Amino acid sequence: MSGKGTKKNKSRETFKSRSTDFDDYDLDLRLVTFTLYLEGESPGPGDCTFLIYFDDEFLLGEKWEDGHTIDKIVLPLNIEETGTDQEIIADRPLIFLLRGSSGKPSKDQDPFLNIDNRAGGNVDLYPIALGEKEVIVKVPLLIIHSGAPSGCSVDVHVSYNGSINNDKIPLTLTMIAAHCLPSSREGTAFLSGIGLDMIHDPISLKFGMSLSASSATKIVWGNASNAGHAADTQINVPSEDMFVPNDLIIDKSENSVYWNAMRRVLVDSTLLQERLNSNFYVEIAGVPKGGKIEVRGRYVAVVDAGVLLQPGQFGVTVCAKLMFYSADIIPESVGTILDLPPTSARGPAHENEPVTDEYGHEAFIVIRMDLIDPIVPKAKITSLFDLIGFPPPTGLKVAEDSLKILSPPEEPPLDKRRICKESGALMVHKELSNLAYKCTLQMNKSIKRTAANRLLLRVRSMLKQFTPTECSEMDYQDTITSQHSAARRAVTSSFAPQPPKVRPSPGLAASRSRAAGDARISNEHIERNLKISPNHPRVLLSKVFRLLEQRNESDAYNYLTVALNVHSKNRYLLWTYGAIQFDKGPEAIEVATAAFRIAVKGDKSDGTTSAIGWAALHALHHYHGNEHPAFVALKKMRKCFALPVEWKRCLKRWIDSSGEEETFWIPGVIDSRNPFLIAAAFFLCLRCFKLTERILQCVEDGCYERGTQNITKEKPGPGTYYVRAASLLLRLHMDVALEVVEKGIRLFGPCAILSQIRATCLGFARGWDGKCEKALLEANNDGAEPCPGLLLRAAIGGWKTDIMASLQRAARAHKIAPSAYTALTLGRIYGKLREEKLAERWAAAAVKAEPLLSDGWAFLALLAMYKRDVDKARALFRTAKEAGPVSADIVAEIEKVKKVVKVELLPEIMAKDLCLCDYY
């Protein structure tokens, strides 16, 4: 079928008629002119004719000659004012054709379908409409049927001296393809068009016939698609992510047709912004490629292009489900889109049924819309901070992921000469105390005497200023004597050793206390750090995690707000803050969205971290049914995840920065091929249980593969069950966690990660027994990476039955995650093996690493009792009582030894009055 049958805009004169009236134009009319220079020998045998077409009209035809120049061809278009001529130059290219002379007449009236057309090319004149004064371009002429270079080219110089008044923006629409169509007769092509009501006149915009193929690499001009490769543009066929509505399931099918045809219209930006809030209607119909028009299937699609209303979006590829055509579907404001016989408008008998191919796949189209600039600009970071209610950062406005505690700087050395000068008593006392603590000089008798004399002189001079009025001489002398004594005592006490300043706990001390199940010491570390640094983000975040584990979100929120007021651009704080509020009311949703948007600003080369942030943003929008922002977040997530995946490095950076180390599961074993699974694992590290479950739902829904053809669709693997079981385990839902693990094992069979989490669930749910031992052996046989907390539990629970296996497990746990608990376990095992020296060394290392470990002090006391060192045992017992409660099995062992070795312990009331903990 010829493209000649397409009706033109009746409000515009034809190009040909305007060309004949060219002499009647005013001399001041601004005209577009162009000059051509021909290069290359004509392809194929015989001479070729060089033809120029514009807006389906013939401009020039000359014999092709290498090196020939064609001077100043005029296009009589007045593009100075907004109107039809600007739209013509925006949507129609300048077409060049090389045509041979076979001598056979062409039956087809369309010049683009002439059988003698050999090669061609085109020039996009739109830069002139944007205000460019000239366009200089070299156009290679391509073989019409193959697209291969012909060896010929045209140097084009287009110029325009006028001014441009244009307040409209270009909207580029590209009809790409239709898939899963019902079977049609051979020789059928498909026409397509879109309705642009409210933003363009005429309303109907047609893309021509489906003449392209799946192998095409370039978009063609819709108005010249019959010209084959002569209509190719420099725009590649898009392969970006596609926006797929929730009611459409896309599948691959052999029964597909392709247009890859582009149309460009000028529209008012305000009207377009309003129009994008409603759907566009696209119509396609099957017709014969030649001969009489006969409709062989007519369909309608409703296109939702609302993604263009998202901040910063200037292009979107949309999928839309096809429905059987009915006059009732298309509203009156749109009217008929394709010019087809009226009989084809009648709906078929099965019009309420979905359009499917022979395999039952839903039929759909793919269309793209592009803008030069986004309609809605990106939100400024200051406005995002205003939404979350925290002060915007100074300096570089990107998210950070550092939470390390910086040690306070050392005080400058003190000058010993300061105490030799006359000063107040308190000042002398402070100087002497600091000198004794810093040990910056040897405190000999001379210095002490000088200090004492200066202090006494100062006291004496002060006392002389207050003469007695209502007291006796004896009382006055007693006052002076007591003041002298107090001054001497002050000097003496100044040289006593001072306790060291309280310093923060080591980075992993709290987490490794939790690995051994000792929540008391873990909380002691957190509270001590809070006392030292009440506003430090790392300390506050640790407190937040403990509160989230207890399901106390309100207190966790309060601590988070304190941390964000100090460090408002920290990525981990922002993620946690947003995750707490993502499922609350409308205001909380806006706050969570803003927090996540701030968190994704940062180093664009860190693909894993950025993918985690965008996955969280997608899960938030997906949960609330916001399709358009969810798609944008998904597209950005896939773009970030295309960079090298460094999941384990991302985890290490998190552990080093936060001091939070997982004890019951190992995030590093997660399959890193799905960014949603990685994001779920990381938000579980942040103890954001609800958001973790929401992201796992996105894994099961296949969000990662939805809307892209470059990713193979996969069913959820064992990683989903592993993360969900770990989430339940951290919330102490042991029975439910075991059910989830067992379900995963039934689906995927025994595998490393599920066997490991199953053994962990059993070990922490029921103590250590034969079933736990069997589960651990199965996990080892499946190649599971050992969890240090599980190995430590197995070492403690199994030393009564197989002490050598316990020794090996404790050693493995200490090698993976060295801590005071693994050292003490090794010491106790060596004690049972009668290796007293090794036992004492390991126990001493344990209490050195963790002075609050009461079991370590008690075990050292027990070893001292074995040696009958009563004084040492008594001192160690005292320290153990001050450190905290002692385990029942160690107490029982002590009671047995006390019957043999008589050790008189201090009374309980005296032990409570001693405090040695502040010295550690």
HEC string of 416-454 equals: HHHHHCCCCHHHHHHHHHHHHHHCCCCCCHHHHHHHHHH
- Return the DSSP state at 169: E
CA atoms within 13 A on the CB side of 769: 7
- For 548-571, the DSSP string reads HHTT-HHHHHHHHHHHHHH-TTBH
How far apart CA 725 and CA 734 sit, in angstroms, is 9
Within 8 A by CB and 6+ apart from 630, the residues are: 618, 621, 622
Tell whether the torsion through CA atoms of 450, 455, 458 and 459 is positive or negative.
negative
What does the block give as tokens for 94?
Answer: 């300048």
Sole residue written with tokens 């193959």: 146
Three-class SS of 611-628: HHHHHHHHHHHHHCCCHH
Over range 70-89, report the average pLDDT: 84
Over range 109-128, report the average pLDDT: 90
Stated pTM of the model: 0.83
Tell whether the torsion through CA atoms of 815, 817, 820 and 821 is positive or negative.
negative
Is a pLDDT exceeding 50 seen at residue 44?
Answer: yes
Over range 849-862, report the average pLDDT: 92
Q: What pLDDT is recorded for position 915?
A: 37
Which of the residue ranges 27-31, 560-564, 690-694, 892-896 would you say has the lowest mean pLDDT?
A: 27-31
The number of beta carbons lying within 10 Å of the beta carbon of residue 781 is 11
Helix (H, G, I), strand (E, B) or coil at 832: helix
Is a pLDDT exceeding 60 seen at residue 274?
Answer: yes
How far apart CA 127 and CA 86 sit, in angstroms, is 11
- For 465-480, the DSSP string reads TS--SSS-HHHHHHHH
CA dist 569 → 572, 600, 652, 679 (Å)? 9, 10, 20, 20
The number of beta carbons lying within 10 Å of the beta carbon of residue 194 is 23
Helix (H, G, I), strand (E, B) or coil at 884: coil
Question: Of 188 and 473, which is predicted with more confidence?
Answer: 188
Angle CA 93–99–104, to nearest 5 = 130
What does the block give as tokens for 20?
Answer: 């004949």
The single-letter code of the amino acid at 593 is: T
Tell whether the torsion through CA atoms of 370, 376, 380 and 383 is positive or negative.
negative
The single-letter code of the amino acid at 215 is: S
The bridge status of strand 315-324 relative to strand 242-243 is parallel
Q: What pLDDT is recorded for position 165?
A: 82
Three-class SS of 783-814: CCCCCHHHHHHHHHHHCCCCHHHHHHHHHHHH
How far apart CA 257 and CA 15 sit, in angstroms, is 33
Q: What pLDDT is recorded for position 503?
A: 76
How far apart CA 320 and CA 368 sit, in angstroms, is 11
Q: What φ, ψ does residue 6 adopt, rounded to 5°?
A: -70, 130
Asked if 1 and 296 count as a contact pair (C-beta separation under 8 A), the reply is no
Which has the closest alpha carbon to 121: 150, 142, 100?
A: 142
Over range 714-719, report the average pLDDT: 85
The bridge status of strand 257-267 relative to strand 69-75 is unpaired
pLDDT band (50, 70, 90) for residue 512: confident
pLDDT band (50, 70, 90) for residue 348: low
Sole residue written with tokens 């040289």: 495
What does the block give as tokens for 316?
Answer: 């979107």
Angle CA 695–707–182, to nearest 5 = 135
How far apart CA 728 and CA 746 sit, in angstroms, is 19
Helix (H, G, I), strand (E, B) or coil at 309: helix
Asked if 752 and 785 count as a contact pair (C-beta separation under 8 A), the reply is yes
Provide the residue count of the chain.
920
Within 8 A by CB and 6+ apart from 705, the residues are: 711, 712, 713, 714
CA atoms within 13 A on the CB side of 218: 15
Q: What pLDDT is recorded for position 433?
A: 56
The number of beta carbons lying within 10 Å of the beta carbon of residue 311 is 13
The number of beta carbons lying within 10 Å of the beta carbon of residue 498 is 12
Question: Of 901 and 563, which is predicted with more confidence?
Answer: 563
Which has the closest alpha carbon to 630: 704, 680, 715?
A: 704
Q: What pLDDT is recorded for position 299?
A: 92
Question: Of 79 and 759, which is predicted with more confidence?
Answer: 759
How far apart CA 725 and CA 739 sit, in angstroms, is 9
How far apart CA 146 and CA 7 sit, in angstroms, is 30
Across the chain, mean pLDDT equals 84
Asked if 862 and 834 count as a contact pair (C-beta separation under 8 A), the reply is no
Return the C-alpha torsion angle 119, 124, 128, 134, nearest 10: -40
Within 8 A by CB and 6+ apart from 573, the residues are: 537, 541, 560, 563, 564, 567
Angle CA 864–867–873, to nearest 5 = 25
What does the block give as tokens for 862?
Answer: 């027990």
pLDDT band (50, 70, 90) for residue 652: very high
Which of the residue ranges 141-150, 194-203, 353-362, 731-740 would you say has the lowest mean pLDDT?
A: 353-362
Which has the closest alpha carbon to 525: 537, 541, 508?
A: 508
Which has the closest alpha carbon to 454: 482, 490, 481, 480?
A: 490
Asked if 160 and 128 count as a contact pair (C-beta separation under 8 A), the reply is yes
pLDDT band (50, 70, 90) for residue 20: very low
Is a pLDDT exceeding 80 seen at residue 674?
Answer: yes
- Return the DSSP state at 356: B
What does the block give as tokens for 778?
Answer: 């199965």
Radius of gyration of the chain (CA): 41
Within 8 A by CB and 6+ apart from 514, the residues are: 522, 663
How far apart CA 243 and CA 262 sit, in angstroms, is 19
How far apart CA 761 and CA 743 sit, in angstroms, is 14
pLDDT band (50, 70, 90) for residue 86: confident
Q: What pLDDT is recorded for position 917?
A: 36
How far apart CA 50 and CA 296 sit, in angstroms, is 38
